[in-house]
């Protein structure tokens, strides 16, 4: 390959002077060196044109990134702003795609966080509920009131066996905080400063006791808190724990730190102060946020308390029932003692059964009815009453009522020792009352001037008459009022005779003056009687009253005497007849 | 956010804690300094449009009774050497502490500050000595914790140097 065709070119003669030899030589050279000539032309072009071809760069780009990335952080530093800008632009342009991409990561984390929060809340709620009514709970309620803390928090603190409240992941060499998690209720100071101070304290202790770098402060305790430190090769975990943690928790710390070292070894080795990569340790650290509460009640205690509660409730209920029954019994006894005609001599009660013994005047109030009225079960009350004759003044009227048996239309009242009878009664009953009244114990006199007998009523009815205008059979308004009075008297009469077996016969007799013919006057008289009857029919009487109509017999005689005005009337004639007729209102 | 651990070094009573107090809102008591020899503070600064959280380890002043613990220096991304201009001995202490720091954490950025600039007339540290420090490659700042002068600049300068490490920030000796 020493024969470079280009090298001989300057020595070649001008083309116009080519000889046959030269043409042959050129042809031969072309035939022999054509492939190499092509390659040489390509190489020359690439050397002359140093621009980078994307296709060629794409072949080596991944390897180039890897080589430079191992060498230093320059590549990351250069790319970071572009990646950030690109990510921001992508979020603005298509947030949905970003959400879809990170959803598989975020969902479990969010779910876990919500689950933890709900579990913590339910635990707190249940704890508070369980303790709210116990003696211990009342004591803690006082403490909550005294300290100003929420009751749920006081319960939680007293029933807490242990709770990891904070977990720090700290870079061992620098003491810088890599990540930090905490429970919601924990009081968190500046975690970065705490990380530094924790690291300083470790160094101080190690230096003070001449310990080697491998020997570390394992834990320290302050009041209710214990700080556990789990050392790793590049980072350490510091867990702030309230209460007394079990030894198994240390294993969990160790496992979490081991996993973090395994998964983030590059970030730990090359840590330069940027803690962003360690956000991925969130789940590991949250796994260390463990808590355990002692059960509020020993096993079986809750059942005992439930039983005690039931017994107490039943006792209270039964006691209330018994109290109410006893109150009713006491009230009944009081009423019995106050009741005229009842003398209570013995009262006993035991286990829901009651016994009463005494004297009872049969005309007095019925004691068994009083038991029912008091709301007591009659089967639980045993009453033994002996009859006696009571002289209580309150019973005189009752006694008189019992002896005299007055009709419903008679009312008996007492004015001192005087029996006063008012109302309507038959003449027979009035005679009987006058005979017996003075024999009723407690009554020395009687007064019956307020009594109205059937004779009195009949007399008043028969005095009534209805006046008509000349030639008219219409009852005028002024006369209707008089008829209303007659109707009321008839009702009283009906009532007073209804029990005596007699009937009231009322005759309405119409009459007319001498004016007109006789036949006309007779018709007019009858029409006037019928008009009165029609009005009386509108009134309601008892079944002992019968009303008839007729013509007054003395019409002509009065006409001859010139008593024309007195003849335009309808008169009433009430009589009592033995009960031999049915109830009817008849017209002749 | 990027975190950086930096240590405050210097002789006894040169004003390290006062400088830190001027810079941060303190959370922990000085008591820790006298018990375990350090107190840790935090301050966020912005350097080149990037937020950086400075974790300031304020170490107990080095004196004949208590030496600075090497273990506190480990992991530092930078440190601040504090001198008291009115006491020349604090410059010697700073030189020794710088050697210790360089030996412990290597060539990380650091800044030195001569405190008590408000009483410049009383300084024992001469301009010549300061020039010698600069020749050694030390960035030397002046400040007054009492007046708050140069404090913000001190920490921002160190944060900037940590973000852009350069050979000048390390001791050439």
CATH number at residue A425: 3.30.1340.30
Within-domain flag for A466? yes
Q: How far is CA A55 from CA A61, A66, A68, A252, A535, in A?
A: 10, 19, 20, 51, 132
CA B86 distance to own-chain centroid = 17
Q: A204 Cβ partners below 8 Å, 6+ apart?
A: B36, B37, B38, B69, B71
d(CA A227, CA A47): 68
The reported pTM is 0.46
Inter-chain CB proximity B42 and A193 less than 8 Å: yes
Within-domain flag for A132? yes
* Terminal-residue alpha carbon distance, chain A: 174
pLDDT at position B81 is: 93
Q: What is the residue-averaged pLDDT of chain A?
A: 80
d(CA A91, CA A98): 6
- In this structure, the answer to whether residues A188 and A330 fall within a common structural domain is no
- In this structure, the answer to whether residues A215 and A326 fall within a common structural domain is no
Within-domain flag for A566? yes
pLDDT tens, chain B, 173 aa long: 889 999 999 888 888 888 887 777 655 555 566 667 788 888 888 888 888 899 999 888 766 556 777 888 989 999 999 999 999 999 999 999 999 999 999 889 999 999 988 888 889 999 999 999 999 999 999 988 888 888 888 888 998 888 765 443 333 33
Task: Tell me the CATH number for domain B2-162.
Answer: 3.40.50.300
pLDDT at position B25 is: 62
- In this structure, the answer to whether residues A285 and A323 fall within a common structural domain is no
Q: How confident is the model at residue A317 (pLDDT cuts 50, 70, 90)?
A: very high
Produce one character per residue of B59-81: b if its CB has 16 or more CB atoms within 10 Å, e if not.
Answer: bbbbeeeeebbebbbbbbbbbbb
Within-domain flag for A227? yes
- In this structure, the answer to whether residues A145 and A266 fall within a common structural domain is yes
Percent of the residues in chain A that have a pLDDT greater than 90, as a whole number: 9
Inter-chain CB proximity B3 and A203 less than 8 Å: no
d(CA A35, CA A50): 23
Residue in A closest to B5 by C-alpha:
A174
Q: Is A395:A379 a contact under the CB 8 Å cutoff?
A: no
What does the pLDDT look like over A533-568, one tens digit per residue?
A: 888 887 777 777 888 888 877 655 554 555 544 578
- In this structure, the answer to whether residues A421 and A476 fall within a common structural domain is no
Domain ranges (residues) in chain B: 2-162
What ipTM, to 2 d.p.? Answer: 0.85
- In this structure, the answer to whether residues A474 and A573 fall within a common structural domain is yes
What does the pLDDT look like over A382-398, one tens digit per residue?
A: 989 998 888 777 788 88
Within-domain flag for A367? yes
- Residue A409 pLDDT > 50: yes
Residue A515: count other Cβ atoms within 10 Å of its Cβ: 14
Coil/strand/helix, residue A184: coil
- In this structure, the answer to whether residues A327 and A339 fall within a common structural domain is yes
- Residue A458 pLDDT > 80: yes
- Helix or strand run (H / E) with residue B50: strand B50-59
Q: Is A465:A486 a contact under the CB 8 Å cutoff?
A: no
pLDDT at position A363 is: 84
Within-domain flag for A158? yes
- Residue A71 pLDDT > 60: yes
- In this structure, the answer to whether residues A348 and A427 fall within a common structural domain is no
- In this structure, the answer to whether residues A267 and A126 fall within a common structural domain is yes
CA A2 distance to own-chain centroid = 109
- Helix or strand run (H / E) with residue A197: helix A191-208
B3 → closest Cβ in A176, A204, A206: A176
Kindly provide the residue ranges of all beta strands, DSSP E only, lying in A157-207, ordered along the sequence.
Answer: 160-171, 177-182
Within-domain flag for A533? yes
B72 → closest Cβ in A190, A200, A274: A200
User: In chain A, which residues have their Cβ closer than 8 Å to the Cβ of B37?
Assistant: 204
- In this structure, the answer to whether residues A134 and A269 fall within a common structural domain is yes
Q: Is A329:A352 a contact under the CB 8 Å cutoff?
A: no
| Structural domains of chain A, count | 5
CA A569 distance to own-chain centroid = 79
d(CA B109, CA A60): 37
pLDDT at position B91 is: 92
A419: domain range? 393-452
- Residue A11 pLDDT > 50: no
- In this structure, the answer to whether residues A202 and A277 fall within a common structural domain is yes
- In this structure, the answer to whether residues A379 and A420 fall within a common structural domain is no
d(CA A428, CA A500): 8
Closest CA to A250 of A274, A272, A229: A229
Closest CA to A343 of A357, A332, A328, A354: A357
Which pair of tokens denotes residue A67?
């080589």
Q: B 37-96 residues with CB below 8 A of A?
A: 37-42, 52-53, 55, 57, 69, 71-72, 74-77
pLDDT at position A13 is: 47
User: In chain B, which residues have their Cβ closer than 8 Å to the Cβ of A275?
Assistant: 1, 3
Residue A410: count other Cβ atoms within 10 Å of its Cβ: 23
CATH code for the domain of A235:
3.30.450.70
Instruction: Using a CB–CB cutoff of 8 Å, tell me whether B24 touches chain A.
Output: no
Inter-chain CB proximity A193 and B37 less than 8 Å: no
pLDDT at position A583 is: 42
- Residue A475 pLDDT > 50: yes
């Amino acid at each position: 390959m020493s024969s470079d065709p280009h090298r001989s070119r300057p020595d070649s003669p001008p083309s116009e002077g080519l000889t046959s030899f030269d043409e042959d030589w050129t042809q031969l050279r072309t035939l022999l060196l054509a492939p190499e000539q092509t390659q040489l032309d390509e190489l020359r072009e690439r050397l002359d044109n140093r621009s980078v071809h994307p296709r060629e760069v794409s072949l080596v780009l991944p390897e180039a990134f890897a080589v430079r990335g191992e060498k230093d952080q320059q590549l990351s530093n250069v790319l970071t702003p572009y990646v950030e800008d690109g990510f921001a632009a992508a979020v603005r342009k298509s947030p949905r795609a970003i959400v879809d991409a990170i959803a598989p990561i975020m969902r479990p984390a969010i779910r876990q966080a919500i689950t933890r929060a709900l579990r913590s809340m339910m635990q707190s709620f249940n704890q508070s509920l369980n303790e709210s009514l116990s003696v211990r709970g009342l004591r803690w309620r006082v403490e909550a009131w005294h300290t100003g803390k929420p009751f749920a928090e006081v319960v939680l603190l007293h029933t807490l066996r242990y709770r990891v409240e904070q977990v720090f992941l700290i870079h061992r060499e620098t003491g810088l905080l890599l990540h930090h998690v905490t429970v919601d209720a924990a009081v968190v100071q500046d975690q970065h400063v705490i990380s530094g101070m924790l690291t300083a304290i470790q160094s101080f202790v190690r230096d003070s006791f001449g310990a080697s770098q491998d020997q570390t402060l394992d834990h320290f305790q302050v009041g209710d808190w214990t700080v556990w430190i789990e050392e790793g090769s590049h980072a350490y975990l510091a867990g702030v724990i309230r209460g007394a943690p079990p030894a198994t928790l240390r294993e969990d710390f160790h496992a979490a730190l081991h996993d973090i070292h395994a998964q983030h070894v590059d970030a730990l080795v090359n840590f330069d102060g940027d803690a962003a990569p360690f956000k991925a340790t969130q789940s590991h650290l949250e796994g260390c946020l463990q808590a355990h509460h002692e059960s509020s009640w020993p096993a079986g205690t809750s059942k005992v308390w439930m039983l005690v509660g039931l017994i107490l409730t039943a006792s209270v209920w039964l006691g209330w029932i018994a109290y109410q029954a006893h109150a009713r019994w006491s009230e009944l006894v009081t009423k019995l003692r106050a009741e005229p005609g009842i003398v209570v001599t013995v009262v006993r009660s035991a286990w829901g059964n009651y016994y009463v013994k005494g004297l009872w005047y049969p005309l007095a109030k019925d004691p068994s009815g009083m038991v029912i009225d008091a709301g007591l079960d009659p089967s639980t009350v045993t009453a033994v009453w002996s009859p006696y004759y009571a002289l209580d003044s309150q019973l005189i009227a009752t006694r008189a009522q019992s002896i005299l048996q007055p009709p419903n239309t008679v009312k008996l009242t007492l004015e001192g020792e005087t029996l006063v009878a008012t109302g309507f009664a038959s003449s027979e009953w009035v005679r009987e009352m006058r005979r017996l009244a003075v024999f009723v114990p407690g009554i020395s006199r009687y007064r019956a001037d307020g009594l109205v007998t059937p004779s009195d009523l009949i007399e008043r009815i028969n005095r009534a008459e209805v006046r008509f205008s000349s030639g008219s059979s219409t009852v005028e308004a002024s006369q209707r009022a008089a008829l209303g009075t007659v109707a009321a008297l008839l009702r009283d009469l009906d009532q007073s005779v209804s029990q005596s077996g007699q009937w009231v016969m009322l005759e309405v007799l119409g009459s007319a003056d001498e004016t007109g013919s006789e036949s006309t006057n007779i018709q007019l008289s009858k029409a006037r009687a019928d008009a009165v009857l029609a009005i009386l029919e509108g009134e309601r009487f008892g079944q002992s009253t019968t009303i008839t109509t007729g013509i007054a017999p003395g019409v002509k005689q009065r006409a001859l005497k010139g008593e024309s005005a007195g003849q335009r009337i309808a008169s009433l004639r009430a009589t009592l007849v033995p009960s031999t007729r049915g109830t009817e209102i008849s017209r002749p | 956010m990027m975190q950086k651990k930096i240590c405050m070094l210097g002789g006894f009573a040169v004003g390290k804690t006062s400088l830190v107090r001027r810079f941060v809102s303190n959370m922990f008591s000085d008591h820790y300094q006298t018990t375990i020899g350090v107190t840790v503070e935090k301050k966020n600064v912005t350097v080149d449009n990037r937020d950086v959280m400075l974790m300031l380890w304020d170490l107990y002043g080095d004196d004949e009774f208590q030496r600075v613990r090497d273990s506190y220096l480990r992991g530092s991304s930078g440190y601040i050497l504090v001198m008291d201009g009115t006491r020349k001995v604090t410059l010697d202490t700073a030189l020794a502490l710088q050697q210790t720091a360089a030996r412990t954490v290597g060539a990380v950025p650091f800044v030195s500050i001569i405190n008590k600039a408000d009483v410049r007339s009383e300084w024992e540290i001469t301009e010549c000595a300061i020039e010698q420090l600069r020749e050694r490659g030390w960035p030397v700042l002046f400040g007054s914790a009492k007046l708050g002068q140069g404090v913000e600049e001190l920490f921002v300068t160190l944060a900037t140097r940590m973000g852009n490490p350069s050979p000048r920030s390390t001791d050439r000796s």
